[in-house]
Structure 1
Amino acid sequence: MKGRVLVLDQIDGRQAAALLVDGRLEELAIDPKDDVAIPGAIYRAVADRPVKGQGGIFVKLPEGSGFLRQISGVAPGQRLLVQVTGPTEPGKAVPVSIRLLFKSRFAIITPDAPGLNISRKIKDEDRRAELSAMAEAGMAGADDRLGLILRSGCLEAEDTAIAEDIAAMRGLAEAVLADSSGPPELLVDGPSAHDLAFRDWLDPAVDDADTDPDSFDRHGVIEALEALRTPQVMLEAGAHMMIEPTRALVSVDVNTGPDTSPAASLKANIATARDLPRQLRLRGLGGQVVVDFAPMPKRDRHILDQVLKAAFKTEGETNLAGWTTLGLYELTRKRDRLPLADLLPRDLP
């Protein structure tokens, strides 16, 4: 199926969302099994104790602890407003930040980052002028600490919807910022899978959406999830890559299959480089990633360097460290979601 389709369903009684582009799974979100801190959630916390050597401090949350890397000016016992920045790994504290974002489909309120900004993706000068006027009107009389970013979806959105989003996010931010006293407490829950999909993935101008029951099965999402359970990813001409997470790193091994020629190696390596960001994203894998590409001449490495750079360009916090002396390729990717293996039930519908 051509085009973009947003598919909303449930897995094991939990919300799940998928974005298909030309029939291929590109984005996936599934609510966690347990009552855990969801990225984007905002808490009132209490600073606990610094962690020597790690440049951070533990903070007390309603259930458990969070870890805050920014400690300048933070003293034990101090009340803080913090936002969850990523998934909680087993046995570790919840990663949090004091940099809060109140995000909706069209607007982002940025406390302690004042200014009115419009997404650079909106190039039309007339539309930018209209949005600038809406931003000024929506933030008139607001606290000087509050900033506003109007997102790229504002280009085709109705002015009324944009104004409503600005007012809603401003009101929420002002209410939360005024509620810093008291014991640790959840103030704003993180977005569910469906909320996240509508907020960050849906483009009403070009996307279709299927919210009917069994939509995952109807669009082939269940089949794609079953494929993501296995380490093997098939490539062209019998080649494949094996993606296997370990405690220390994610190992990726590229094999050409029956064809062992240099041309086959380069072709398989390029295919791996192009699909690797999507595979890591959908599988919920991050941290240190080590790729053992199929054997090829060193002179061809610059080709892979360019392909990898282009492939990971929009992948957020990724560091392409490059080649090791043993001929492996290293990169790091921020863990931005729970591993898919922890989210799926043993048996899919």
Structure 2
Amino acid sequence: MKGRTILLDHLNGREAAALMLDGRLEDLLIASDAPAPGTIYRAVADRPVKGQGGMFLKTPDGNAFLRQIKGMAPGDELLVQVTGYAEDGKAIPVAHRVLFKSRYVIITPNAPGINVSRSIRDEERREEILALVHDTVENVPHGIILRSSCEVAEDEDIAEDLLSMLSLAEQVLNDEGTGPETLIEGDAPHLLAWRDWVEPADVVTQAGSFESHGVMDAIDALETARLELSGGAYAYVEPTRALVAVDVNTGNDSSLSAGTKANFALARELPRALRIRGLGGQIVLDLAPMPKKDRRGFESALKTALRSDGIETVLVGWTPLGHVEMQRKRARLPLAQALK
């Protein structure tokens, strides 16, 4: 199957969305019982965590943990937003800075200014988008980010989305309630797909489309830790309690450059492999042997692949044993857990 296809279906009774590119699974979203990233709470400060610079908060969904709590005291009420999924037995990760994100715009309270995505390089279109915003709203106290999807969108759709998100932001920010409460729930998979998968695609909404379009076969293939790479190389992507271990092998290639080729192939495939498996946290790469002179090129290839991934990932560096350490946001629930 050629082309880009978005499939909206259900998996084990849960809402799910899949993105296929030329018949290969590129992304997968599955609803869960855990609070979704983007959820906004009115929370109550509970108790500080000495030595970590954080505070446990009370929310309707249990304890949350907030870093950087300068000036906060137990009993204080504040707005926080879920930033990712918590590990088993740990508090929900939240941030004090809330964002209101939609298909075309992101509203950033207390950070005024209008910015157009740098992905839009057509200067004439950038000016048109800025003019549209100024014609639509005046004296907005919040920041506005115009997303890359605005480049080919209809102006009336952008304006409608902008007004809707500004209204939502005002409603939440001016809420006068008290005590722990969920003010906005994070977007479910079908809405997330509409919001973030904005490139042209065929959209299939029929029940059973996962089965008929190969998504179920792709998910079944993810039950093995083995990741096939180009040139006959392969890797094993294995989550443990402490971290995600990635082991790279050259396969049958015995040439002098086999290790370098296998490692560069991993750099291109790793973001997708982590994304569709829902893996984050600490990641350690046990690469195939390659000359130290090739390390910089490998880092560049990996960073390029990560930039187009959309999930915040930091390349920490090299260990004395030659492993590569990364820290990746837990923006997805691990696939094995989501399928339960």
Q: Which TM bucket (shorter chain)? A: over 0.9
2:159 match: 163
Q: What does 1:8-23 correspond to in 2, within 5 Å?
A: 8-23=8-23
Are residues 127 and 263 of structure 1, via their aligned partners in 2, closer, same or farther at CA, if it must alter by over 3 Å?
Answer: closer
Equivalent AA in structure 1 for residue 118 of structure 2: R
2:172 match: 176
How does the TM-score come out when normalised to structure 2? 0.94
1:256 match: 250
Are residues 160 and 263 of structure 1, via their aligned partners in 2, closer, same or farther at CA, if it must alter by over 3 Å?
Answer: same
Confirm or deny: 8 A CA contact 2:229 2:269 kept in the other structure.
Answer: no
Confirm or deny: 8 A CA contact 1:122 1:128 kept in the other structure.
Answer: yes
Confirm or deny: 8 A CA contact 1:79 1:181 kept in the other structure.
Answer: no
How does the TM-score come out when normalised to structure 1? 0.91
Deviation string 1:297-316 (CA, Å, 9 cap, x unpaired) is 33433332332232223344
1:320 is paired with a residue of what secondary structure? strand
How far does residue 258 in structure 1 lie from its aligned partner after superposition? 3.5
Q: What's the C-alpha RMSD, in Å, of the aligned pairs?
A: 1.8
- Does the alignment pair 1:107 with 2:102? no
Are residues 23 and 48 of structure 1, via their aligned partners in 2, closer, same or farther at CA, if it must alter by over 3 Å?
Answer: same
Once the two structures are overlaid, the 10-residue window that deviates more, 206-215 or 232-241, is: 232-241
How many residue pairs align between the two structures? 339
Q: What does 1:231-250 correspond to in 2, within 5 Å?
A: 231-250=225-244
The partner residue of 1:129 within 88, 102, 127 is: 127
1:4 match: 4
- Work out the CA distance in 1 between the residues paired with 2:124 and 2:246: 48
Confirm or deny: 8 A CA contact 1:81 1:180 kept in the other structure.
Answer: no
Confirm or deny: 8 A CA contact 1:121 1:152 kept in the other structure.
Answer: yes
Q: Percent identity?
A: 57
How far does residue 238 in structure 1 lie from its aligned partner after superposition? 4.0
The partner residue of 2:83 within 79, 82, 85 is: 85
- Work out the CA distance in 2 between the residues paired with 1:301 and 1:162: 43
- Does the alignment pair 1:151 with 2:150? no
1:308 match: 302
In structure 1, runs of 5+ residues without a counterpart are none
Confirm or deny: 8 A CA contact 2:43 2:180 kept in the other structure.
Answer: yes
The partner residue of 2:96 within 95, 98, 113 is: 98
Q: What does 1:1-349 correspond to in 2, within 5 Å?
A: 1-32=1-32, 34=33, 36-142=34-140, 144=141, 146-203=142-199, 206-315=200-309, 316-345=311-340
- Work out the CA distance in 1 between the residues paired with 2:331 and 2:66: 16
- Work out the CA distance in 2 between the residues paired with 1:123 and 1:312: 21
Equivalent AA in structure 2 for residue 25 of structure 1: L
Are residues 251 and 77 of structure 1, via their aligned partners in 2, closer, same or farther at CA, if it must alter by over 3 Å?
Answer: same
Equivalent AA in structure 2 for residue 12 of structure 1: N
Flag as ranges the 4+ runs of structure 1 deviating above 6 A. Answer: none
Deviation string 1:286-328 (CA, Å, 9 cap, x unpaired) is 1221111122333433332332232223344322223222222
- Work out the CA distance in 2 between the residues paired with 1:120 and 1:61: 36
Confirm or deny: 8 A CA contact 1:118 1:149 kept in the other structure.
Answer: yes
1:96 is paired with a residue of what secondary structure? strand
- Work out the CA distance in 1 between the residues paired with 2:213 and 2:129: 37
2:257 is paired with a residue of what secondary structure? helix
How far does residue 19 in structure 1 lie from its aligned partner after superposition? 1.3
